[in-house]
């Protein structure tokens, strides 16, 4: 059994913001796989299906990013999913738009959603996909940056990066292959 959790904030006002890139990846992935509609379960939008004979769960926690651990841990514990079969997709301020990093285990890197998941699971050995959103420029604060809309150029770079992420996630779902890697797409 595998679990893919995309982080973001619920609500229309957060759609299309860098902080919701995890939700965006899950939505695009499900569309690409031709999968159905979400249900509400585990304080999340939740979808369970079978791919290549393996049960796969897709989660978009509805707890806001900073409390994502509540939803993710609830699902992991209910199904007794091995933590190495969990992939969490989040934004990353330290990576520029268009840069993506895949990692097995590690720290939270200052990301409150990842911190919440680590604290709730009591384990940091889950897999993660970090999608670059860059640091704010000028006088904009971090909160304003992550909750504002992408610029057209940033969104185009992010979407190119997401295309690569989808390829890697589908490979993980079908083969369990997941390697530490980074890549950068250019415009």
Name the E strands within the chain: 2-6, 39-41, 44-51, 54-61, 86-92, 99-104, 127-132, 181-184
From the CA atom positions of the chain, what is the Rg in Å? 15
Annotated catalytic, 145?
Answer: no
Per DSSP, which regions of 8-43 are E strands?
39-41
| CB within 8 Å of 108: residues ≥ 6 apart | 114, 115, 118, 124
Instruction: Find the catalytic residue in 19, 43, 111, 145.
Output: 19
d(CA 140, CA 33): 37
| Residue positions annotated with a catalytic role | 19
């Amino acid at each position: 059994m595998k679990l893919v959790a995309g982080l973001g904030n619920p609500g229309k006002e957060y759609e299309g913001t860098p902080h919701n890139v995890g939700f965006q990846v899950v939505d695009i992935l499900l569309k690409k796989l031709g999968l159905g509609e979400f249900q509400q379960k585990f304080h999340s939008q939740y979808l369970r299906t079978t791919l290549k004979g393996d049960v796969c769960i897709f989660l978009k926690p509805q707890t806001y990013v900073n409390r994502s651990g509540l939803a993710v841990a609830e699902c992991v514990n209910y199904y007794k999913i091995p933590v190495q079969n969990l992939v969490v997709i989040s934004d990353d301020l330290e990576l520029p738009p268009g840069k993506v990093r895949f990692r097995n285990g590690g720290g939270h890197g200052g990301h409150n959603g990842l911190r919440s998941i680590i604290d709730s699971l009591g384990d940091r050995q889950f897999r993660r996909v970090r999608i670059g959103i860059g640091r704010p420029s000028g006088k904009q604060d971090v909160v304003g940056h992550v909750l504002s809309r992408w610029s057209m150029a940033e969104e185009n770079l992010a979407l190119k990066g997401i295309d690569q992420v989808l390829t890697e996630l589908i490979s993980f779902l079908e083969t369990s292959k997941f390697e530490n890697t980074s890549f950068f797409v250019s415009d």
